[in-house]
Amino acid sequence: MSKSEIIIGCMSWGTWGKNFSTKEQSEMIQFCVENGNSTFDHADIYGHFTTEAAFGKGFKESGILRNDIKLISKCGIQLVAESRDNKLKHYNYSKEYIVWSVEQSLKNLQTDYLDTFLLHRPSPLMHPNEIAEAINILKESGKIINFGVSNFTTSQVNLISDKIPVSVNQVEFSLMQHAAMHNGSLDQMLEKDIQPMCWSPLGGVFKEETEQTTRIKKVLSPLAEKYNVTEDVLLLAWILKHPANISPVIGTTNKDRIIKANKALSIELELQDWFLLLEASRGEEMP
């Protein structure tokens, strides 16, 4: 099981968010690498299939060596976009499409290989044999190093891993949304030595006003004082304490928040504090 790290999510770097110029992309990549965040999480659909290319231009301008960063990307979701002949949102996991999509991502990111390639969401029509054929082609040609999935259930992981090894599963996980801790997903990853990554690691704690967020904030505030960190860092530390070695994918483009997020790696939450936060999220004591 790999050691946890803070992964930089790039979904909002393009037209779905900050719309960084090539110079800004380059500067952000340099900043992240300098601060120890050298893994960048992409998906072909970000920015309606435009964000990878914008990042690629920034990466080329940055002058950073390819070996000094790790690139993750995903495919499978077909959005309605100007560059695609899609009449509606759907999924495509044919062998030809998977291979073609990876080749497009490599071209856009201006690289020869992906460190990790994920199937973005499960499709009811996916066939494990066809997926395995595509992944074998991509691995043998050196276009991908590691293969994994995203948002897959335990049975779907088993379906795929029976034909091709799965080394990563990126799922939603946070103090607010911790289903993966109860539905067997994290247990499976720990058992099978599959690297867990989690998206939306802060949940809606700072975006929503609900009974759940109110309870969490009431507990977070004094704990943040106790550990001398900000509340968002404490939420990441809560995730990092899980024995499966989860790597949070953070979507912020705020440089101060990225620096703060890294502090979570050195925080060791006391056992009862970890359960205190879980109890606040649940709204009741542990069974």
> Residues with catalytic annotation?
46
Beta strand 39-41 with 70-75 is parallel
Which residues are CB-neighbours of 150 under 8 A, at least 6 positions away? 74, 118, 119, 120, 121, 169, 170, 171, 199
Which residues partner with 70 through β-bridges? 39
Tell me the C-alpha distance between 76 and 223, whole Å. Answer: 41
CB 138 within 8 A of CB 169: no
Q: What angle do CA 26, 28, 31 make, to 5 degrees?
A: 110
Instruction: Give 179's DSSP letter.
Output: G
Within 10 angstroms of residue 88's Cβ, the number of other Cβ atoms is 7
Chain centre distance of CA 216: 23
Q: Which of 33, 54, 24 is nearest to 42 (CA)?
A: 54
**Strands of 153-276, DSSP E:** 168-172, 195-199, 247-250
- Decide if 10 contacts 41 (C-beta within 8 A): yes
How far apart are alpha carbons 244 and 6 in whole angstroms? 15
Counting every residue written for the chain, the total comes to 287
Distance (Å, rounded) from C-alpha 133 to C-alpha 51?
Answer: 28
